[in-house]
Amino acid sequence: VLRRRLLSIKSWILLFKGNINGATESAQQCLKLIKEDKLSNKLELTATFLVLGWINAYQGNRVKALDYAMKSLKHNKELNHDVAIAADYTLIARIYLGKGDYDQALQYCKQSLAIKGITSRTKLTALQNLAIIYYFKSKLNRALKYQLQVISLGEELNLTDPLVDSLMWVGYIYNILGKSNLALEYFERSLTLSEKWGFTMTIAQSLTNLIWIYIDLNSREKANRYFSRLSELYDRTMDKVDVDISYFYLGTKAYMMKSSPRMRDRVKAQELFREVIDRTPPGSENLMLFMGNLCDLLFEELSLYNNPEILDEIIPLVTRSLGMAETSRNYKWLAESKLLQAKLALIQMNLEEAKKLMVLAQRIADLHGLNLLAYRISGEHDNLLEQIDAWDAVKKEEAPMAERIKLASTNGVLERIQGKSAVESIESVDEQSTVLLILTEGGVLIFSYPFTDEWRIDVDLFSGFLSAFTSFSTEFFSKGLDRVKFGDEMMLMESIGSFSFCYLFKGQTYIAKQKLSKFTEEVQKNTSLWQSLEDHYEASQILELRESPQLELLITEIFMSKS
């Protein structure tokens, strides 16, 4: 029993020290002894499952990690051991966070924090999880709130690693929010504590963050002072096998050169960013920043020199960015990179490809609960459809790259990838519903609900739209689009079985699409309503509103409710 307990304690200590191999060996030995001893209790078993879960989570073995966490949870529920259940929920939340399933991670965090007996250490980890989840969801004020709670708890418990980590997170979030002075304050605190405790990596990270902000504030003298300290640290550690701060040093040197007015320095910055991208550990937020800065330099060069050959450098870089984001399961970065790819397609005058890529970018954000980002991408797609005439003129005039880049509005996405701005919310506008249709294959009308008198009365308008339906539906489903323009209005369509649900409106597509999706889901769930559609389809008859009060109620609740 004593040996098992010592091995269990040893595995946790080694895990906290970052010795993953040693922690794994001790935990596996402990598990073997527990299984051999029939008198061993379930508490020992669950504790071993928990540490093995954390070990595998740190190694990126998420399937194994989840298996161990679920085994621990099962036994702890049988024992009614609330404190351990809270720890299990926190681990499961971290695993789902690593998988990019932010909504699932959020649910487990909330379950963990709802348990009254939760330990302070488990609570701190759960709060860290919450803060990171809300960061990825672009809800920065919430992320800030929870990181500040982690700092308070970390100071109370005297836990060094999470305290320094959260101080840097708070600084990073304040910087994105444009509050440079507060960002500097927190980065200074993280630097002071890192130096006190001898944390080389976070010393380098803190110095890097301070330098980048002072560069942005045009405080070159202060930036140079901190860079001297970073250079000294780099010189002292460059021969150490277990510490590599080269990507902080080279990335910062590149950023300083990028800020130079001399083209020679900016070209050198490109070379350094390429080098540092190869050196940076996969999954690091710094990797996204370095990629964003290199893209920014190349777009600037493209705009300045109007040389299409520069696109041959940007395109593979964005493709690589997509691959890195996907490998690290950073779906915020992945969606932003896909949006940047769409902007590239626009600059190359490939409008149809750009539309398709915007649909994919929004889908990535939607699938992973990144609602604010999805809303922003949808708004960009709407803007593109409003600008079709402008793009046609650009194509006809063979406009220079600078004009195309400006019209494509690359600044927003590039600044977000560089960590310089947040996802801005879009001001909602009142939606004006025009008509809702249910059609079968070939565009045969089964049901219609005009929301305006014009569409109720004007037979030619209605029949003209139906005549155009076939070409619209072909464009939808063959080109992978999710919206098209019909005159001054937007059209959405969803296909389920033999039916196409079509919604014409004026307003923002993101909210309208949610309404149409909810409507189609509710119709499909309602057995009698779905059967009524099938019956009218087989009889080649139009379903009248008076025949289906349920359908009228659904339309009123979903499309006409102000809530």
Summarize pLDDT for 260-275 with one digit per residue, the tens. 999 999 999 999 999 9
- The residue to which tokens 């509710």 are assigned: 522
Least confidently predicted of 14-18, 440-444, 478-482, 547-551: 14-18
39 has pLDDT over 50: no
Decide if 33 contacts 73 (C-beta within 8 A).
no
- The two tokens of residue 349 are 């005058």
Largest CA distance in the chain: 87
Q: Give CA–CA dist 175/68, Å, rounded.
A: 38
The predicted structure's pLDDT at residue 40:
55
Confidence of residue 23 (pLDDT cuts 50, 70, 90): confident
Decide if 492 contacts 503 (C-beta within 8 A).
yes
What letter represents residue 504's amino acid?
A: L
pLDDT tens digits, 181-193: 999 999 999 999 9
Q: Which among 339, 432, 355, 433 has a CA at the least distance from the CA of 388?
A: 355
pLDDT tens digits, 432-487: 999 999 988 777 889 989 998 877 766 566 667 766 766 666 666 667 778 888 88
- For the entire predicted model, the pTM comes to 0.90
The residues near 424 (Cβ < 8 Å, ≥ 6 apart) are 376, 412
> Strand, helix or coil at 445?
strand
Decide if 481 contacts 525 (C-beta within 8 A).
no
pLDDT tens digits, 158-178: 999 999 999 999 999 999 999
- Tell me if domain 2-140 and domain 432-559 are identical in fold: no
Decide if 439 contacts 446 (C-beta within 8 A).
yes
What letter represents residue 377's amino acid?
A: I
Q: What average pLDDT does the structure give for the chain? A: 91
Q: Give the residue, 417 or 6, on which the prediction is more confident.
A: 417
Q: Give CA–CA dist 91/535, Å, rounded.
A: 51
Least confidently predicted of 52-56, 374-378, 453-457: 453-457
Domain topology for 2-140: 1.25.40
The predicted structure's pLDDT at residue 554:
95
55 has pLDDT over 80: yes
Which three-class secondary structure string do you get for 506-544? ECCHHHHHHHHHHHHHHHHHCHHHHHHHHHHHHCCCCCC
> Strand, helix or coil at 424?
coil
Pairing between β-strand 432-440 and β-strand 489-496 as defined by DSSP bridges: unpaired
Confidence of residue 309 (pLDDT cuts 50, 70, 90): very high
Q: What is the DSSP string of 446-502?
A: EEEEESSHHHHH-HHHHHHHHHHHHHHHHHHHHHT-S-EEETTEEEEEEEETTEEEE
Q: Which among 137, 215, 201 has a CA at the least distance from the CA of 168?
A: 201
The residues near 366 (Cβ < 8 Å, ≥ 6 apart) are 374
Domain boundaries, the chain: 2-140, 310-426, 432-559
Domain topology for 432-559: Beta-Lactamase (3.30.450)
pLDDT tens digits, 239-294: 887 789 999 999 999 999 999 999 999 999 999 999 999 988 887 889 999 999 99
